[in-house]
Each structure stands twice: as C-alpha cells, then as structure tokens.
C-alpha cells in the first residue's frame, strides 16, 4: 500500500505514468530534508521568506514541442474511477497570469480531457477564477499553462493559502534554497518551470462553459457534472523521456498535499491572533481538510471559542474544530477523543454556526456549499479544582 507505483507502458503508451509519490509525511520530509515534525515549520518559513524565480532561455521541458495538439494521443492521461467522465489530468499545476499586472498564480484544478485540444476545468472562486473573471471582463481569454511532473516542493507550494498576487513559485524557491528556473511558454506569456516533465499551454476561453465531471474527489465522492470553464490547448511541450504524474483522488498523496500547507497557514493565522495556539492537525478521517484539532496553552475562559471562529475564517473547508490542552496528542485520534470524552459538555462547550460557506465538495452541503460549522471546546475549565483533572499516573511508569 505505501509504495509509489510506476506504469512503464500504460495501455501501450510509451510515456510512463507514476502515482503515489508523496503518500507519507515522512517521504515528504525526506524530499525537503527535514523530519516529519519539522515539516510545518519548514513550510511556514518558506511562505514567510519567498524567493523570486529567474527566467532562463530554454529548458528540458521544451525539448519536444507538439503544436498540432492531440492530448490523449500525446499523453497517457488516465481514467481514475469507475464513474469518472473520462481521462483527467489530476496532478497538473495550473499557472495563470493576472491580466492587469502579470503576477503569476499556481494552483491545482482537475482537468477533464474534453477533446483533442480541449480541457474542462473546475475553478473554485479563488485566484485563478478571479484572474479569469478579470480577463473575461476585458473581453480576453486568460493565458494559462498546465504543468505535469514537478518536484514535491512545487506540489506543496501550489496548495499554500496565501493572498492573491502572491506567486506560489516563490515558495518553491524558498523550499529549494535557490530560485526556480522558469521558461516562457511557446504560445503565450506564461512562465513555467524549466525542469518540469510536461506543459500544456492554453487559454481559459471567455464566456464559454461546457459539461465537466463527474470526477472522484478528495472526500471520496464524485464531484458532479456541470457546465464549467474550458481551456483551449495551443501546444504541448515535454522532456525527451517525460514521465506523467497523476494523483489518485482521496488517496494519501492527495490528502497530504492538501493538508500540510493548510496546517502551516492555519497555524500561522491562528498564532497571529493568539500566541497561545501551539499546534494544529488536520486529521485523516476528516480527509485532511474538514476536521481540525488545535492544541492551546489556555489562559482565558472563552479563548477556545475565539480560536474556533478564527479557524472557521482561516479556510472555508474547515467544518469541525476541536480545541484541546497541551497534554493531548493531536496527531492521535484516540487521544483527541479521550479529551472530548472527559473535558467536553455539549450544552456548555459546543459552538454551532449555521449557514456558513463550506466545501462545495462536501456532499452534505447545499448546492452552493452552504453548511454549518461545529466547534468543541475540550479544554479543562480554568476554575476547576486541580485534583478533578489530575491525570492518573503509575509511579515510575
Ligand atoms: Mn494563489
């Protein structure tokens, strides 16, 4: 189970497919040269000290250029789940440019192969979506590139929760300790990593919407079919011996890539308001996105509920927050449940906020992602007498 897999000739295609490259916290740590425990700090440090990229004249990613595009002919794009609408690029970094100032954005969107040179893409209302609206209002297409086969730092950086017009590629440079080398696309102005495996150059068409989905998503359900944005692909470039990377929806690689950067940015956001926040964990059962555990050094009554509200505001995906004291192991689900069992009373310690924005991929939210948030304060009341909450201990154990 915990192995990366390489398909040397998928369906007879001569370009190999690789998956499950980053399926454990330890492997990701190894890639960045830190221990599992040091991952979040390392990532936070990179986000706070971004390193701009440099442009180079050419790179291995443009060794082969297809200007006559036939996506499924030129790339071994897999179909992943039984009810998926067809082949999908699942691990492609979409790089777009703010049409007014040229600042680049990096993010991952699921990409359905809709035709020889056509891709249906789901843009949630964040940065790529905003850039595409800006271009559309000016009557233009949005220039983009879809980059497949990048290093672990690039995959992690693409998931950073940073403001608009913060180029995530600068986080990659900071993680590497050296500026990323970028090369200009052949058919548009987007700059892409020169050492990637594959690039699809294209444009998000203004005023065009076509059916996309269903596709197996991270909550282990299908995202449904609807009219969505369309990318017209103008060229494909790749290395001489390119390898196609894919990510299985809902698998550990998918969940960790989403979870680790979120933990880092949520921790930073919470600590800005309350230095008593010590650590956060997005649990596997909560698909590394919906359920957050926060460890605090409690000094005030009500502090836990303020932190919950900060967490709900830090990312709309967060649906449940459990706040615990410093003696609880937040990476261990049983330890967290023990804190809820022994330090939480629902009539006092439960916070429910209804009609909030949640994940549109949570099947229990209404059509537009509206749902409820729940917070559980599983911290010891400050007024409690010390003996009541003294944890038993066998002498010498
Ligand atoms: Mn962004």
Tokens of 3: 């192995």
Distance 169 CA to ligand 1 centre (A): 10
DSSP reduced 3-state for 343: helix
- Paired tokens of 14: 């001569």
Compute, in angstroms, the gap from residue 346 CA to the centroid of ligand 1: 38
**Distance in Å, CA 106 to ligand 1 centroid:** 6
- How many of the other CB atoms lie within 10 Å of CB of 269? 17
Backbone angles phi, psi at 133, to 5 degrees: -65, -40
In this prediction the pTM is 0.89
Q: Distances in Å between the alpha carbon of 266 and those of 51, 182, 310?
A: 21, 29, 9
Ligand 1 centre and the CA of 133: distance in Å?
A: 15
Cα 110-80-13 angle, rounded to 5 deg: 100
Residues with CB under 5 A from ligand 1 (ion): 105, 127
Tokens of 301: 């009554």
Alpha helices in 10-150 (DSSP H): 25-32, 39-48, 71-74, 127-137
Q: How far apart are CA 36 and CA 104, in angstroms?
A: 30
- Ligand 1 centroid to Cα of residue 117, in Å, is 26
Judge whether 161 and 315 are in contact, CB under 8 Å: yes
CA of 313 to the centre of ligand 1 (A): 17
Q: Which residue has the tokens 């038993």?
A: 392
Cα of 198 to ligand 1 centre, how many Å?
21
Is 292 within 8 Å of 270 (Cβ atoms)? Answer: no
> What is the CA(285)–ligand 1 centre distance, in A?
27
Each of the 397 residues of the chain gets a pLDDT tens digit; together they read 579 999 999 999 999 999 999 998 899 999 999 998 889 999 999 999 999 999 999 999 999 999 999 999 999 999 999 999 999 999 999 999 999 999 999 999 999 999 999 999 999 889 999 999 999 999 999 999 999 999 999 999 999 888 999 999 999 999 999 999 999 999 999 999 999 999 999 999 999 999 999 999 989 999 889 999 999 999 999 999 999 999 998 899 999 999 999 999 899 899 999 999 999 999 999 999 999 999 999 999 999 999 999 999 999 999 999 999 999 999 999 999 999 999 999 999 999 999 999 998 899 987 789 999 999 999 999 999 999 999 999 999 8
The Å distance, Cα 109 to ligand 1 centre, comes to: 12
Q: What is the distance in A from the centroid of ligand 1 to the CA of 393?
A: 48
Q: How far is the CA of 158 from the centre of ligand 1 (A)?
A: 8
Taking a C-beta distance cutoff of 8 angstroms, is the pair 223, 122 a contact?
A: yes
Ligand 1 center to 131 CA (angstroms) = 10
């Amino acid at each position: 189970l915990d192995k990366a897999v390489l398909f040397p000739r998928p369906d007879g295609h001569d370009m190999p497919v690789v998956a499950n490259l980053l399926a454990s916290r330890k492997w990701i740590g190894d890639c960045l040269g830190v221990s599992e425990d040091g991952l979040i700090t390392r990532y936070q440090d990179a986000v706070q000290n971004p390193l701009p990229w440099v442009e180079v004249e050419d790179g291995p990613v443009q060794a082969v250029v297809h200007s006559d595009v036939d996506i499924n002919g030129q790339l071994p794009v897999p179909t992943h789940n039984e009810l998926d609408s067809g082949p999908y690029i699942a691990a492609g970094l979409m790089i777009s440019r703010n049409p007014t100032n040229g600042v680049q954005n990096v993010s991952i969107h699921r990409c359905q192969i809709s035709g020889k040179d056509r891709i249906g893409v789901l843009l949630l209302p964040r940065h790529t979506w905003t850039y595409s609206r800006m271009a559309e209002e000016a009557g233009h297409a949005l220039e983009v590139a879809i980059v497949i086969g990048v290093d672990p730092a690039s995959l992690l950086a693409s998931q950073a929760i940073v403001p608009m017009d913060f180029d995530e590629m600068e986080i990659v440079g900071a993680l590497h300790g050296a500026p990323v080398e970028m090369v200009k696309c052949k058919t548009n102005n987007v700059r892409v990593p020169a050492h990637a495996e594959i690039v699809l150059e294209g444009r998000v068409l203004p005023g065009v919407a076509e059916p996309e989905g269903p596709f197996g998503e991270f909550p282990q359900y299908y995202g449904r079919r609807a009219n969505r944005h369309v990318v017209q692909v103008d060229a494909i470039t790749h290395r001489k011996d390119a390898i196609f990377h894919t990510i299985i929806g809902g698998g550990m690689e998918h969940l960790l890539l989403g979870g680790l950067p979120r933990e880092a940015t949520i921790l930073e956001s919470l600590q800005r308001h309350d230095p008593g926040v010590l650590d956060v964990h997005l649990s596997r059962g909560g698909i590394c996105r919906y359920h957050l555990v926060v460890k605090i050094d409690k000094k005030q009554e009500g502090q836990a509920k303020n932190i919950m509200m900060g967490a709900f505001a830090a990312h709309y995906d967060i649906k449940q927050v459990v706040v615990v004291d410093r003696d609880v192991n937040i990476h261990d689900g049983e330890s967290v449940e023990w804190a809820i069992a022994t330090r939480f009373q629902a009539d006092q310690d439960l916070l429910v906020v209804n009609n909030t924005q949640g994940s549109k991929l949570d099947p229990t939210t209404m059509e537009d992602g509206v749902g409820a948030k729940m917070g559980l304060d599983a911290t010891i009341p400050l007024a409690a007498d010390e003996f009541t909450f003294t944890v038993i201990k066998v002498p010498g154990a």
